[in-house]
Amino acid sequence: MAKLVGAYTVSHSPFCYMPPERWNEVRANRSLREDVPMEDLDECKEKAERIQNGFATVRAKLAEAKPDVLIVFGDDQLECFDFNNYPSFLIYLGDEFKGSLFNQNRSMGDAERAQATQQAMKGHPQLATAILTGLMGHGFDPAFAMDMPKPDKGIGHAIMRPAQSLTDLQMPIVPVLVNCYFAPQVTGKRSYQFGKAIREIIEAYPEDLRVAVIGSGGMWHTPGGEDAWLGEEFDRGELTFMEAGDARGMAEFFDAYEVPEGDLSQPVGVPGRTATGLPSSPGPQGGTRETANWIVTAAVADGSRATVVDYVPVYASPVGAAFAYWEKV
């Protein structure tokens, strides 16, 4: 029988990958609320080092667990899909997939940079198929893909950046895409139910397989938002539930959040190139909703206490970069 050997969560913001010397350069081109602190270069360097230490710690814990395959929960940001057909949940079933690694070469355009860093990855069709059919038995009706919907773009950064930071890029990965961004989004409650189902499916898988799960994204961030700010209280509330082993509490806390009146960084019901304009699900808006991937992961390990390696508030973005793991799952 398969065995769950570890659960991990990491942020994947570009600020986790770009040199700290660029942070305030990028900040200058963003709209931040006046009360967001300004960090000097030394502070940026110190936080960049903490981020790399966070990745290193999680990578080491993952290596200690010796998984045979990873399941990565991440969101698609129009890399694979568009508003002609956008799934709430999708399981990738292919033997392999491609995606772009993070590339700092600023002399390249976006499309050129993406092609230059395309990386082939191994899938795990057998486990992926068991997840797909198992979820249907648990009352879910996920979409599936047997090949890349947009081969030129490949799988999104929510899958590729954890692979880049935590693995040698050789381990098989089952991408599981969760619609965090685009209204109506997956709720915290549904994310919790999804993770609980995934755990049962892993444990029912008949082959001798060591499986680890990774939640990718978050925490608080509203990329490109007007008057963006950092909801540190929200992030620390979610982390407190993780440390207590309370995934249901995470989900309820997430869904109970209400966007403050007049908060321009979290628009609701406004259509655009990257926004449906449809009614939004309860909870925070924008990139912060990637915390749903953390809720899925916490639900897989529900009842076990997480170890939070670090929480790094990066005001230049602004984003709450965090790293955690569950050893006893």
pLDDT of residue 245: 98
Average pLDDT taken over every residue of the chain? 94
The pLDDT of residue 107: 46
Each of the 329 residues of the chain gets a pLDDT tens digit; together they read 999 999 999 999 999 999 999 999 999 999 999 999 999 999 999 999 999 999 999 999 999 999 999 999 999 999 999 999 999 999 999 999 999 998 765 544 555 555 557 899 999 999 999 999 999 999 999 999 999 999 989 999 999 999 999 999 999 999 999 999 999 999 999 999 999 999 999 999 999 999 999 999 989 999 889 999 999 999 999 999 999 999 999 999 999 999 999 999 998 888 877 889 999 999 999 999 999 999 999 999 999 999 999 999 999 999 999 999 998 89
Q: What is the pLDDT of residues 138-149, one digit of tens each?
A: 999 999 999 999
pLDDT at 113: 52
For position 115, what pLDDT does the model report? 56
Instruction: Give the bridge partners for 104, in sequence order.
Output: none
pTM of the model: 0.96
Structure tokens at 96: 């392999």
Closest of 172, 280, 168, 287 to residue 223, by C-alpha = 287
What's the CATH code of the domain at 27?
A: 3.40.830.10
Tell me the three-class secondary structure of the chain, residue by residue. CCEEEEEEEECCCHHHCCCHHHHHHHHCCCCECCCCCCCCHHHHHHHHHHHHHHHHHHHHHHHHHCCCEEEEEECCCCCCCECCECCCEEEECCCEEEEECCCCCCCCCHHHHHHHCEEEEECCHHHHHHHHHHHHHCCCCCEEECCCCCCCCCECHHHHHHHHHHCCCCCCEEEEEECCCCCCCCCHHHHHHHHHHHHHHHHHCCCCCEEEEEEECCCCECCCCCCECCCHHHHHHHHHHHHCCCHHHHHHHHHHCCCCCCCCCCCCCCCECCECCCCCCCCCCHHHHHHHHHHHHHHHCCCCCCEEEEEEEECCCCEEEEEEEECCC
With beta carbons less than 8 A apart as the criterion, state whether 67 and 104 touch: no
The residue range of the domain holding 295 is 3-326
How many structural domains compose the chain?
Answer: 1
Residues 79-133 pLDDT 10s: 999 999 999 999 999 999 999 998 765 544 555 555 557 899 999 999 999 999 9
